[in-house]
Chains A and B, each alone.
Chain A
Amino acid sequence: MAGKTLYDKLWDDHLVQERDDGTSLIYIDRQLLHEVTSPQAFEGLKLAGRGLWRVNANLATPDHNVPTTVEERKAGNEGIEDPVSKIQVVTLDDNCDEFGVTEFKINDIRQGIVHVVGPEQGATLPGMTVVCGDSHTATHGAFGALAHGIGTSEVEHVMATQCLIQRKMKNMLVKVNGQLGAGVTGKDVVLAVIGKIGTAGGTGYAIEFGGEAIQSLSMEARMTICNMAIEAGARVGLVAVDQTTIDYVKGRPFAPTEDQWEQAVAAWSELHSDADAVFDTVVELEGSEIAPQVTWGNSPEMVVPVNAVVPNPADQSDENQQKAYARALEYMGLTAGQAITDIKLDRVFIGSCTNSRIEDLREAAAVAKGKKVANNIIQALVVPGSGLVKQQAEEEGLDKIFTEAGFEWREPGCSMCLAMNADKLGAGEHCASTSNRNFEGRQGFGGRTHLVSPGMAAAAAIAGHFVDVREVETA
């Protein structure tokens, strides 16, 4: 019998029941909650007179709607100017209080983007199943955890039953061989993968990212990669557990201690695909061939290396693709053949569940140090992923580097990634963004998003247009 993939092992460990129709009940170890996708689930529970199956499996924090300006945050929930946003944040607090769920409220130092907070607290552990009403839950797969983004009905289902009804996915291995070049990051790897397999390439699959280049990456970079698995259509991204994983988890508030720690580490050593495991699909990339990536269109698959040009729709073989390319060029205000480095920018956003961890901020600060944001940039935002990331960055003096260069240093939250709070693009504005989606209007009505790594975003802020971060002097 062939060996098991990491996904197979995680699936088998959480299987409660297999049904005749091919669906299964999967046990969920951790549910993360935020204010946008939970209110209707709590309401459903109350209407049905149901409680939470296991209260301590849940952990909540507001992130999507919270304001990120220092001024607005001072007064906590009362300071949220947008009345509709405020209702949502207050509703999360009320629901968590009523049901006894641990919540890091708006001005708790531990508050932040759920996908930053979970790992940071050790609330995400190797071998767990993790769910959240947010498609970027795949992030937690970086720990060898089976993490799914789910809808609100499923949030309610997990609240009430601690289980999820699932059908087993297929296995895909994305193998990145060799090593990445200097200045090339996890973000570039995942954008290159999406460029290669397309935004639906991973639909129906759990993608395991492996190979030497992935094994050499930090947990932060692995999280960035798994985070965007959904942008390739896969609900699940995974990386095998190794010493890097264990070192990251050790000593975190929710991590096991003493005897349980030893027992856990022994169990976690099994969390990798067996050497003879069979994948349904294998995709290989050479790490050394990946250049810093920039998206030019309105789908993450519309991506090219920074030294390339905007593609020509006529070069696409498929008619629907030609139409999509032409529409994207029109929306983005770009012309085929234009050099990526000629794209003038209006705003820069460094943040989001993809790239707002300490390593991301260090990478951007190293580029920005001692320089100034270009005059044509209206706003350059740096939004840390959590209060603890912010605190650490300040201890390292990164905030000073940013503010001296002309960046705004903000309070933690999702911010301009999806512009549910006041941080957004104006119509027609181009933004170099470290977030995950370049859909039409995502960062503001009529806004034009280009997805890049934190170093690339910082370099673009300084130059006023895209530049190859590998050619920029860093501190």
Chain B
Amino acid sequence: MDKFTQLDGLTAPMDRANVDTDMIIPKQFLKSIKRSGFGPNLFDELRYLDEGKPDQDCTGRPLNEDFVLNQSRYQGASVLLARQNFGCGSSREHAPWALLDYGFRCVIAPSFADIFYNNCFKNGILPIILDEDTVDSLFKEVEAEEGYRLVVDLEAKEIRTPGGRTIAFDVDDFRRHCLLNGLDDIGLTLEDADQIRAYEEKRKQKAPWLFN
């Protein structure tokens, strides 16, 4: 996993509540057995006018010009500004894989669905929860100013706007530590293997049927 320390990123607004993981990456693309290559199909049904197929070259497909990520001013965006309950629905980790493959490293929203929120951290994406009013103000600024970039500083737990405003955000210490250092949490858990074994021994006495 790539480290996440500080990001100075062009910001794109996705002005829609309850964006579900089917919308982020439609089911026909879940048939891959790899973790990469989902970027061209991110938001497939919103982004293109035709129906996307797996393993298809997307370069010649008709674009939905109205869709925000198709606008020239948002090309190369790495920060996604979103509305409440972003990432609801299926647990598919293909959703953060698609965001990452497209180039997003940070998603800012008033709220996230639990599984998606968790999946982001496992893939080097920082999901940031800010209150509704602050998110609203960022939407206004982003839409008003072409080339709007946010500086997301995970070390300092703050976002800095082009206008000089500093917005603090909160993030779980363990997840922050893993992101800052690009740590694989399986390796970390296995450091406590003895404790897991001790738990198993104790549990086997009380509930042996669980180990049949």
Chain A interfacial positions (CB closer than 8 Å to B) = 16-17, 19, 21-23, 25, 27, 29, 36-37, 39-40, 43, 48, 50, 53-54, 56, 64-65, 82, 84-85, 87-88, 91, 125, 127-128, 133-135, 137, 149-154, 156-157, 160-163, 165, 167, 199-200, 203-204, 230, 233, 235, 254, 256, 260-261, 263-264, 267, 299, 320-321, 323-324, 327, 418-420, 437, 439-442, 445-446
A420–B172 touching, CB < 8 Å? no
Residues of B whose CB lies within 8 Å of any CB of A are 16-18, 20, 22-23, 26-28, 30-35, 45, 51, 54-55, 83-85, 88-93, 96, 111, 113-115, 118-119, 122-123, 172-174, 177, 184-186, 189-190, 192-193, 195-196, 199-200, 203, 206-212
Give the interface centre of B96, B184, B209 by most chain A CB atoms within 10 Å.
Answer: B209
Q: Can you spell out 15 A-B residue pairs with CB atoms less than 8 angstroms apart?
A: A16-B195, A25-B192, A27-B199, A27-B200, A36-B31, A40-B34, A40-B93, A43-B33, A64-B30, A161-B193, A199-B18, A199-B85, A233-B114, A324-B16, A324-B17
Q: What total count of A-B pairs have CB within 8 Å?
A: 188
Apart from A137-B91, A150-B115, what are 6 other A-B pairs with CB-CB below 8 Å? A25-B196, A84-B54, A88-B33, A167-B172, A256-B212, A445-B51
Our pick among A88, A153, A230 for the contact of B122 (Cβ within 8 Å) is A153
The one of A137, A163, A267 in contact with B207, judged by C-beta atoms closer than 8 angstroms, is A267
**Please, how many angstroms separate the alpha-carbon atoms of A437 and B172 in the complex?**
31
Q: State in angstroms the CA–CA spacing of A71 and B67 once bound together.
A: 41
* B99 CB to nearest A CB, Å: 13
Instruction: Choose among A88, A156, A235, A446 the residue that contacts B114 (Cβ–Cβ < 8 A).
Output: A235
Q: B206: which A residues are within 8 A, CB to CB?
A: 267
7 closest Cβ pairs, A-B complex: A256-B209, A153-B122, A39-B33, A151-B119, A151-B93, A152-B93, A135-B91
Provide the residues of chain A in CB contact with B30, threshold 8 Å: 36, 64, 420
Task: Please state if B210 and A29 are interface contacts (CB–CB under 8 Å).
Answer: yes
Q: Hey, which chain B residues are within 8 Å of A27, CB to CB?
A: 196, 199-200, 203
Q: In the complex, what distance in Å separates the CA atom of A141 from the CA atom of B88? A: 20
| Contact between B90 and A135, CB atoms less than 8 A apart | yes
Judge whether A21 and B18 touch: CB under 8 Å: no
Residue of B nearest to A155 (CB): B93
Least Cβ–Cβ distance between B200 and chain A, in angstroms: 7
> For the complex, what is the distance from the CA of A84 to the CA of B185, rounded to whole Å?
31
Q: Which residues of B contact A37 (CB under 8 A)?
A: 91-93
Nearest-neighbour CB distance to chain B for A418, whole angstroms, equals 5
Cα distance A135–B89 when bound, in Å? 7
User: Which of A50, A137, A199, A324 is within 8 Å of B186, CB to CB?
Assistant: A50
A440 near B91 (CB under 8 angstroms)?
A: no
- A23 contacts which chain B residues (CB < 8 A)? 172, 174
Q: Identify which of B83, B118, B195, B209 contacts A154 (C-beta below 8 A).
A: B118
A65 to chain B, nearest CB (A): 7
CB neighbours (8 Å) of B91 from chain A are 37, 133-135, 137, 149-151
Asked if residues B45 and A445 are in contact (CB atoms below 8 Å), the reply is: yes
* Cα separation A437 to B51 with both chains bound (whole Å): 20
Contacts of A56 in B (CB 8 A): 211-212
B33 touches A233 (CB 8 A): no
Interchain CA distance A261-B207 in the complex, whole Å: 10
Of chain A, the residue at the smallest CB distance from B34 is A40
Asked if residues A157 and B17 are in contact (CB atoms below 8 Å), the reply is: no
Chain A residue contacts of B119, Cβ below 8 A: 151, 153-154
Bound-complex Cα distance A254 to B212 (A): 8
C-alpha spacing A354/B66, complex, angstroms: 36
Q: Assess the B115–A156 pair: CB atoms within 8 A.
A: no
- Whole-angstrom distance between the alpha carbons of A91 and B119 in the complex? 23
Min CB distance A428 to B, Å, is 13
Answer whether A420 and B28 are a contact pair too, CB < 8 Å, given A40-B34, A127-B207, A199-B18. yes
A200 B207 Cβ-Cβ under 8 A: no
Is the beta-carbon distance between A21 and B172 smaller than 8 angstroms? yes
**Minimal Cβ-Cβ distance residue in A for B50:** A445
